[in-house]
């Protein structure tokens, strides 16, 4: 019997990039990136993926989003994902750079309403109400609806990106280096916003970062990726206190220690 608490199951996922340049004997070179990835995310969990640059974190996120092909199985709420459109609504993403995610000439209200219009969700009044709700959730008031993207700060833009991801009430948000482009204090506010959304909405989050401290600060469970493999995975407190894999130990030694906020229930 399937476990209804399981939101995402990644089973034996591998992926290979084909380069455009031709190698020896004129064949396209195939570069394996992900190697037999296995993990699961439960409903209401904040799952962190940490690893050095180039280890394959974004590639894995893109496989889950349906943007890249892979071998193996990815199940969402017990259903095997096939094709791109199927995950479009229940898994949403927030990326590193809000400037490349948002059209600068559009208003925040237009961008927040757009996913609802595309999915033909609700009447005009209902959509307007949902946009107000989402603005409140991301810590902005309804006057921001009329503000154009170029009139917003980096932190406010990232809040709009999070709002766009939230507006269709997804089961899971994939946040790929979502605070890495922001300065430290603004990044901390966005981390706290994710925590707040997790507590208020029971939001499940797949949080990707190269920074172990950020992942430890936010996440319940941490997976450590090294050269396309998950080399260690476990409860955040345990992994941080007693890492087993040499690569996790090296990551910890390189990161100055931080305190985690008290963990609230969902
Ligand atoms: N489209 C592509 N074609 C070929 N190789 C690629 C492609 N995209 C990524 N790669 C390679 O795949 C590997 C993993 O890249 P990926 O972007 O997933 O790493 P990452 O862990 O997200 O790194 P970062 O922390 O810098 O974002 C890298 O070696 C990268 O050069
Ligand atoms: Mg990346």
263 contacts: CB under 8 Å, gap ≥ 6: 220
**pLDDT at res. 86:** 59
Does the residue 235 lie in any domain?
yes
Range from 100-114, 149-163, 194-208, 245-259 carrying the lowest mean pLDDT = 245-259
**Ligand 1 atom 26: residue of nearest CA:** 53
Per-residue pLDDT band for 266 (boundaries 50, 70, 90) equals very low
Does the residue 214 lie in any domain?
yes
Does the residue 2 lie in any domain?
no
209 lines ligand 1 (CB under 6 A): no
Does the residue 162 lie in any domain?
yes
Residue 219's domain comprises: 46-68+86-254
> 124: which 2 tokens?
């005009």
Does the residue 10 lie in any domain?
no
**Centre of ligand 1 from the C-alpha of residue 62, in Å:** 11
Does the residue 64 lie in any domain?
yes
pTM summary value: 0.92
**Ligand 1 atom 14: residue of nearest CA:** 56
**pLDDT at res. 265:** 47
pLDDT digits (tens, 9 = 90+) for 130-186: 999 999 999 999 999 999 999 999 999 999 999 999 999 999 999 999 999 999 999
10 contacts: CB under 8 Å, gap ≥ 6: 37, 38, 39, 40, 60, 64, 72, 73, 74
pLDDT digits (tens, 9 = 90+) for 39-80: 999 999 999 999 999 999 999 999 999 889 899 999 998 888
Q: What is the CATH number of the domain that holds 137?
A: 3.40.50.300
Does the residue 243 lie in any domain?
yes
158 lines ligand 1 (CB under 6 A): no
Residue 212 exposure: Cα atoms within 13 Å on the Cβ side: 26
Q: How many domains does the chain have?
A: 1
**Ligand 1 atom 5: residue of nearest CA:** 17
Rounded to the nearest 5°, which phi and psi values hold at 184?
-55, -45
Q: What is the mean pLDDT of the chain?
A: 91
**Centre of ligand 1 from the C-alpha of residue 64, in Å:** 15
């Amino acid at each position: 019997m399937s476990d209804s608490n399981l939101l995402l199951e990644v089973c034996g996922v591998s992926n290979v990039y084909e380069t455009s340049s031709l190698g020896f004997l004129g064949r396209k070179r195939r570069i394996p990136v992900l190697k037999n990835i296995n993990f699961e995310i439960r409903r209401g969990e904040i799952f962190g993926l940490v690893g050095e640059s180039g280890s394959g974190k974004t590639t894995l996120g893109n496989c889950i989003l349906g943007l890249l092909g892979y071998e193996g199985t990815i199940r969402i709420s017990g259903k095997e994902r096939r094709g791109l459109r199927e995950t479009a609504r229940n898994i949403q993403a927030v990326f590193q750079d809000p400037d490349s995610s948002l059209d600068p000439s559009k208003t925040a209200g237009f961008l927040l309403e757009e996913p609802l219009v595309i999915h033909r969700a609700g009447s005009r009044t209902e959509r307007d109400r949902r946009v107000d709700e989402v603005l409140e959730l991301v810590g902005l008031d309804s006057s921001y609806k009329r503000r154009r993207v170029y009139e917003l700060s980096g932190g406010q833009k990232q809040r709009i990106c999070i709002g766009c991801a939230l507006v269709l009430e997804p089961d899971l948000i994939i946040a790929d280096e979502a605070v890495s482009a922001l300065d430290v204090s603004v990044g901390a506010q966005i981390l706290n916003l994710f925590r707040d959304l997790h507590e208020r909405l029971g939001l499940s989050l797949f949080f990707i970062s190269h920074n172990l401290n950020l992942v430890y600060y936010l996440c319940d469970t941490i997976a450590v990726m090294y050269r396309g493999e998950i080399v260690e995975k476990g409860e955040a407190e345990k992994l941080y206190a007693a890492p087993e894999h040499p690569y996790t130990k090296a990551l910890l030694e390189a990161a100055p220690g931080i305190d985690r906020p008290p963990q609230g229930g969902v």
